[in-house]
Amino acid sequence: MAALRPPPLDAAAGQVARTAAAAPDWGTLAGVARSCVACPELAATRQHVVVGDVPTGGRPRLVLIGEAPGATEDETGRPFVGRSGALLDQLLAEAGLDRGQAAVLNIVKCRPPGNRTPKTPEVARCSGWLRRQLELLDARVVVALGLSSAKWFLGPRTKLAEVRGRPHEVDGRAVWATYHPSAAIRFGPNGAPRAALLADLTAVAGTL
């Protein structure tokens, strides 16, 4: 079984990790996360800290984890509600999964300017929030959507094409790495990422 190896922590990342670890429940964690200023550039340009969606009652059947909020997510404060979210909802339904029974999170909780890829220090500073979220949710199945999310769980040298299609046991969870819905949009409805994402979600559904 693999164990998560966190990226090197600077002082801000260490403070986030301590604050997050002290949160006794989801509501407390969400409240303190929404005031986070560990990444000055992101804090200065965001509209909302996108903490994540969780089922209204009970433990989630699975956790879906993307990279970072986009423009629509930043405006609304909710994850996966733009074009990528609409496609994700469609593919989840086709795979026989109900988004309402899943937790939906991101590696980084604030939108990077211009939707750029989050920087390594930003990922490290936000990791404390995600780690505590995973502990509180206690879901046994995680779907890592996109390379940034896959690398967070499986390591910096991860190649999506080599790790998708099967579960990887990480800290007692079955982690499935697959394409991000934005890749499926970019390559079109007949592109390989869309077909692979649907196939992987269908495989995940078969394990629940």
Please check whether residue 16 lies inside any domain of the structure.
yes
Phi, psi of 77 (to 5 degrees): 80, 15
Residues 167 and 134: beta-carbon distance below 8 Å: no
| Angle ∠(156,63,31) on CA atoms, nearest 5 | 95
Please check whether residue 114 lies inside any domain of the structure.
yes
pLDDT score at 7 = 58
Domain span holding position 146: 11-205
Please check whether residue 3 lies inside any domain of the structure.
no
Please check whether residue 5 lies inside any domain of the structure.
no
- Residue carrying the six token digits 């930043």: 74
Residues 145 and 92: beta-carbon distance below 8 Å: no
Give the span between the Cα atoms of 23 and 28, in whole angstroms: 6
Please check whether residue 165 lies inside any domain of the structure.
yes
Please check whether residue 121 lies inside any domain of the structure.
yes
pLDDT score at 9 = 67
CATH number for the domain spanning 94: value is 3.40.470.10
Please check whether residue 6 lies inside any domain of the structure.
no
Please check whether residue 2 lies inside any domain of the structure.
no
Q: For residue 154, give the 3-state DSSP assignment.
A: helix
pLDDT score at 3 = 58
pLDDT tens per residue, range 76-132: 999 999 999 999 999 999 999 999 999 999 999 999 999 999 999 999 999 999 999
Instruction: Tell me, yes or no, if the pTM score tops 0.75.
Output: yes
Number of domains in the chain: 1
pLDDT score at 188 = 84
Low-confidence stretches of the chain (pLDDT < 70) are: 1-9
